[in-house]
Amino acid sequence: MKIAVLISGGGTNLQALIDACAEPNYPAEIVLVISNKADAYGLTRAKNAAIPCKVINHKDFPSREEFDKSMDAEIRSSGAEFVCMAGFMRLLSEWFIDEWHNKLINIHPSLLPSFKGIHAQKQALDAGVKITGCTVHFARKEMDAGPIIMQAAVPVMEDDTIESLTARVLNEEHRCYTESLRLICENKVRINGEIAEILP
| Interface map 6-45 toward ligand GRF (x if CB under 6 A) | ---xxxxxx-------------------------------
Catalytic residue among 101, 108, 119, 137: 108
Are 167 and 182 in contact by the 8 Å Cβ rule? The answer is no
Site string for ligand GRF, 66-95 (x = CB under 6 A): --------------------xx--------
Separation between Cα atoms, residue 125 and residue 200, nearest integer Å: 36
What phi, psi does 137 have (nearest 5°)? -145, 155
Contact call for residue 140 and ligand GRF (CB under 6 A): no
CB distance 150 to 156 below 8 Å: no
What distance, in Å, lies between the first and last C-alpha atoms of the chain?
20
133 binds ligand GRF (CB under 6 A): no
> Measured from the CB of residue 172, what is the shortest distance to ligand GRF in angstroms?
10
Q: Which residues bind ligand GRF (CB under 6 A)?
A: 9-14, 86-87, 107-109, 170, 173
